[in-house]
Amino acid sequence: MSAKNTSVSKSRLNLPVLDILEEAGVCFSIKGNDLEFIYQSKALNKLLGIARLYTNDFEIFIPEIAYEIAQEDSLISTSGVAEDVDRVLITKKGKELIVRVKRSIVNHKGETLLVTIYTDITKQSQNKQFEAYKKVLTEGEVFEKMLNRFSQRIFSSQSRNDVFNGVGKLCLDLLDLQNLSIYIMDQEMLVLRKKEILINGEHIISKEITLNSVNIPLSEGVIGKCARTKTTITIDDVHLEHDGIRDIREFKSELAVPIIYHNEVLGVIDTESSSYARYTDKTKRIIEGLASLLAIKLHEIESKEYIEAKNEQLHSLVKNNPNAIAMLDNKGNYMQVSDDWMRQFVSSKHDSILGLNHFELNPNIPSRWKKLMDKAYSGVHQVMQKEGYKRRNGEIAFFKGKINPWFLKKGEVGGIIILADNITESVNAEVRLLKSTEELEEAKLIGQLYNWEIDIEKGTIQVDTGKQNIPGVENGRQYNLDAFFQFIDTGYHADFNQAIDHAIAGNGEFSLIHPFRVKSRVFWMDNRGKVITENGAIILVKGTAHNITDQIDAENAYKQKNRELKQLNRELDQFVYKTAHDLRAPLANILGLVDLMRMEENPKILATYFDLQQKSVSKLDTFIQEITNYTKNTRLPLKRDEINFGTIVDGVLRDHMFIAGSDQVQKNLNVEKSKLYYSDCERITIVLNNLIANAIKFRDDEKENSFVEIDVKSEGKYIHIRVRDNGIGIPDEFKDKVFDMFYRAHKSAEGSGIGLYIVRETVRKLGGSILLKTEEGAYTEFNILLPNTKF
Amino acid sequence: MLVFLVDDDPIQNMINSQLVRLYDDKIEYMVYNNGVEVIQGLEEGLLPDIILLDINMPIMSGFEFLNLYQHYTNAANVFMLSSSDNEDDRKQAKKYSCVEGYVIKPVSKEVVHDILLSADKRKSQGS
Inter-axis angle of helices A755-765 and A681-697, to 10 degrees? 150
Q: What is the mean pLDDT of residues A34-50?
A: 74
> A328 or B74, which is more confident?
A328
Convert the pLDDT of each residue in A252-271 to its tens digit.
Answer: 888 999 999 888 899 999 99
CB count in 10 Å sphere of residue A375: 15
Which residues of chain A make contact with B10, given a CB cutoff of 8 A?
749
pLDDT at A1: 37
Convert the pLDDT of each residue in B50-98 to its tens digit.
Answer: 999 999 888 888 999 999 898 887 788 899 998 878 888 898 999 998 9
pLDDT at B17: 92
> A79 or A45, which is more confident?
A45
Q: Which residues pair with A253 in a beta bridge?
A: A273
Would the CA dihedral through A568, A569, A570, A574 be positive or negative? positive
A311 membership: H or E segment, kind and range? helix A281-319
Q: Do A592 and B33 touch (CB under 8 A)?
A: no
Q: pLDDT grade, residue A479 (50/70/90)?
A: confident
Q: pLDDT grade, residue A555 (50/70/90)?
A: confident
pLDDT at A92: 64
pLDDT above 50 (res A528): yes
Number of A/B CB contacts below 8 angstroms equals 70
- d(CA B126, nearest CA chain A) in Å: 33
Tell me, yes or no, if B123 comes closer than 8 A to chain A by beta carbon: no
Which residues of chain A make contact with B82, given a CB cutoff of 8 A?
581
pLDDT at A8: 39
Q: What is the mean pLDDT of residues A617-622?
A: 84
pLDDT at B19: 92
In the sheet with B50-54, reading across from the earlier edge strand, the strands are B28-32, B2-6, B50-54, B77-82, B99-104
Tell me, yes or no, if A746 comes closer than 8 A to chain B by beta carbon: yes
Q: Calculate the alpha carbon distances from A91 to A86, A95, A99, B1 in Å.
A: 16, 5, 11, 67
Q: How far apart are CA A135 and CA A153, in angstroms?
A: 24
pLDDT at A37: 73
Q: How far apart are CA A383 and CA A403, in angstroms?
A: 6
CB count in 10 Å sphere of residue B30: 16
Closest CA to A444 of A436, A454, A455: A436
Q: Do B58 and A599 touch (CB under 8 A)?
A: no
Q: What are phi and psi of A573, to 5 degrees?
A: -55, -50
Contact A279, A265 (CB under 8 A): no
Convert the pLDDT of each residue in A104-125 to its tens digit.
Answer: 777 777 777 778 888 887 776 6
Which residues of chain B make contact with A595, given a CB cutoff of 8 A?
15, 106, 108-109
Which spans in A156-259 are helix H? 160-174, 221-229
Which residues of chain A make contact with B111, given a CB cutoff of 8 A?
none
Q: How far apart are CA A243 and CA A227, in angstroms?
A: 13
Q: How far apart are CA A693 and CA A691, in angstroms?
A: 5
Which residues of chain A make contact with B87, given a CB cutoff of 8 A?
none
B116 membership: H or E segment, kind and range? helix B109-126
Contact A214, A197 (CB under 8 A): no
* Cα nearest neighbour of A590 on chain B: B106
Tell me, yes or no, if A596 comes closer than 8 A to chain B by beta carbon: yes
> A371 or B63, which is more confident?
B63
Convert the pLDDT of each residue in A448-464 to its tens digit.
Answer: 677 888 888 888 888 88
Tell me, yes or no, if A592 comes closer than 8 A to chain B by beta carbon: yes
Would the CA dihedral through A107, A109, A112, A117 be positive or negative? negative
- d(CA B72, nearest CA chain A) in Å: 25
> A549 or A765, which is more confident?
A765
Would the CA dihedral through B121, B123, B126, B127 be positive or negative? negative
Tell me, yes or no, if A612 comes closer than 8 A to chain B by beta carbon: yes
Q: Do A747 and B33 touch (CB under 8 A)?
A: yes
- d(CA B83, nearest CA chain A) in Å: 5
pLDDT above 90 (res A91): no
Mean of per-residue pLDDT scores for chain A: 78
> A557 or B108, which is more confident?
B108
Tell me, yes or no, if B40 comes closer than 8 A to chain A by beta carbon: no
A495 membership: H or E segment, kind and range? helix A493-505
When CB atoms are compared, the residue of A581, A593, A615 closest to B15 is A593
pLDDT at A56: 53
Q: pLDDT grade, residue A11 (50/70/90)?
A: very low
When CB atoms are compared, the residue of B7, B58, B83 closest to A746 is B58
pLDDT above 50 (res A642): yes
* Cα nearest neighbour of B14 on chain A: A593
Write down the pTM of the prediction.
0.38
Q: Do A592 and B106 touch (CB under 8 A)?
A: yes
Q: Do A596 and B34 touch (CB under 8 A)?
A: no
Q: Do A595 and B106 touch (CB under 8 A)?
A: yes
Q: How far apart are CA A716 and CA A788, in angstroms?
A: 8
- d(CA A615, nearest CA chain B) in Å: 9
**CA A428 to centroid of chain Cα atoms:** 34
CB count in 10 Å sphere of residue A572: 10
pLDDT at A77: 63
> A138 or A372, which is more confident?
A372
Per the document, the length of chain B is: 127
Q: Calculate the alpha carbon distances from B9 to A163, A165, A451, A747, B112 in Å.
A: 75, 75, 73, 9, 18
The two beta strands, A537-547 and A449-455, are: antiparallel
> A560 or A359, which is more confident?
A359
> From the candidates B6, B7, B13, B15, which should be mutated to test the interface with A, based on the most A CB atoms within 10 A?
B15
Convert the pLDDT of each residue in A697-741 to its tens digit.
Answer: 889 988 889 999 999 999 888 999 999 999 999 888 888 888 877
When CB atoms are compared, the residue of A588, A593, A595 closest to B83 is A588
Which residues of chain A make contact with B25, given a CB cutoff of 8 A?
none
Convert the pLDDT of each residue in A276-315 to its tens digit.
Answer: 888 888 888 888 888 988 988 888 888 888 777 777 777 7
Give the percent of chain A with pLDDT over 90.
8
Q: Which of A164-168, A459-463, A575-579, A750-754 has the lowest mean pLDDT?
A: A750-754
Would the CA dihedral through B101, B103, B108, B112 be positive or negative? positive
Convert the pLDDT of each residue in A386-436 to its tens digit.
Answer: 777 666 666 667 778 888 888 776 677 888 888 888 777 776 776 666 566
Q: Do B109 and A595 touch (CB under 8 A)?
A: yes
Per the document, the length of chain A is: 791
Q: A-contacting residues of B 68-107, CB under 8 Å?
A: 82-84, 86, 88, 105-107
pLDDT above 50 (res A2): no
> From the candidates A576, A578, A581, which should be mutated to test the interface with B, based on the most B CB atoms within 10 A?
A581
* Cα nearest neighbour of A584 on chain B: B83
Q: Between vectors from CA B108 to CA B104 and to CA B112, what angle results, nearest 5°?
A: 95
Q: How far apart are CA A658 and CA A644, in angstroms?
A: 24
A551 membership: H or E segment, kind and range? helix A549-599
Q: Do B14 and A588 touch (CB under 8 A)?
A: no
Q: What is the DSSP letter of A732?
A: G
Tell me, yes or no, if B64 comes closer than 8 A to chain A by beta carbon: no
pLDDT at A9: 38
Q: Calculate the alpha carbon distances from A101 to A23, A44, A53, B83 in Å.
A: 12, 12, 18, 96
- d(CA A583, nearest CA chain B) in Å: 9
Q: Do A749 and B22 touch (CB under 8 A)?
A: no
Q: What are phi and psi of A481, to 5 degrees?
A: -55, -45
Q: Do A588 and B12 touch (CB under 8 A)?
A: yes
> From the candidates A584, A594, A617, which should be mutated to test the interface with B, based on the most B CB atoms within 10 A?
A584
Which residues of chain A make contact with B108, given a CB cutoff of 8 A?
595
Contact A594, B107 (CB under 8 A): no
Q: Do A744 and B58 touch (CB under 8 A)?
A: yes
> A363 or A70, which is more confident?
A363
Which spans in A197-280 are helix H? 221-229
pLDDT at B32: 93
Give the percent of chain A with pLDDT over 70.
80
Q: Do B108 and A595 touch (CB under 8 A)?
A: yes
Which residues does A374 contact at the CB level (< 8 Å), separation at least 6? none
pLDDT at A138: 65
- d(CA A187, nearest CA chain B) in Å: 55
Tell me, yes or no, if B1 comes closer than 8 A to chain A by beta carbon: no
> From the candidates B7, B9, B57, which should be mutated to test the interface with A, based on the most A CB atoms within 10 A?
B9
Q: pLDDT grade, residue A772 (50/70/90)?
A: very high
pLDDT at A10: 38
